[in-house]
């Protein structure tokens, strides 16, 4: 039985490779250390010959750690935590976060989804950035279908 990469990190790698076909030697920052996204993402980026740093909400001087990353994968679970001025010009930003916040433009009690990255300010610096919703989520589903098909048809 073949071991398959978890769906969300696998989907992130597809998106990253679309923006940066050659990852060798690129500096990547994985923001988050969960067993579901952070640690598998670290492994996939290492397999692609990236130089990888894993950081989290307690990392000292996180903005400067972020500013040197060619690739930033944010999976920390804090709404709009990563600010635009943390993003290196031309970086690829993958926002894995799914956070509900109050929506003052809607009726009372209504919420909206945002990621871990402040999309508006980060998109001014990033060469490519995933939105929330609509970015990594559909890739996770696609990779789940791919893994299911491959598992069902493998001998």
- pLDDT, tens digit, for every residue of 10-61? 999 999 999 999 999 999 999 999 999 999 999 999 999 999 999 987 899 9
95: Cβ contacts below 8 Å, ≥ 6 apart: 74, 82, 115, 116, 117, 119, 129, 130, 131, 132, 135, 136
Round to whole Å and give the CA distance between 143 and 12: 10
pLDDT for 103 equals 82
All domains of the chain in start order, with CATH: 7-136 (3.40.50.720)
pLDDT for 155 equals 73
Q: In terms of pLDDT, which residue wins out, 51 or 103?
A: 51
pLDDT for 12 equals 97
Q: What is the mean pLDDT of residues 56-83?
A: 94
Q: In terms of pLDDT, which residue wins out, 108 or 47?
A: 47
Contact between 11 and 41 under an 8 Å Cβ cutoff? The reply is no
Helix 7-19 vs helix 136-153: angle between axes, to the nearest 10 degrees?
110
Q: pLDDT at residue 142 above 90?
A: yes
pLDDT for 108 equals 72
């Amino acid at each position: 039985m073949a071991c398959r990469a978890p769906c969300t990190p696998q989907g992130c790698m597809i998106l990253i490779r679309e923006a940066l076909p050659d990852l060798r030697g690129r500096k990547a920052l994985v923001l988050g250390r969960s067993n579901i996204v952070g640690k598998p993402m670290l492994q996939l980026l290492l397999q692609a010959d990236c130089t990888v740093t894993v950081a989290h909400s307690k990392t000292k001087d996180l903005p400067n750690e972020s500013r040197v990353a060619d690739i930033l994968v944010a999976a920390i679970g804090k709404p709009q935590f990563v600010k635009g001025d943390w993003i290196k010009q031309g970086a690829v930003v993958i926002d894995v976060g799914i956070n509900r916040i109050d929506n003052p433009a809607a009726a009372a009690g209504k919420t909206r989804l945002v990621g871990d990255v402040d999309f508006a300010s980060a998109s001014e610096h990033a060469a490519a950035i995933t939105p929330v919703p609509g970015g990594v989520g559909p890739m996770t589903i696609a990779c789940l279908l791919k893994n299911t098909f491959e598992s069902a048809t493998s001998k």
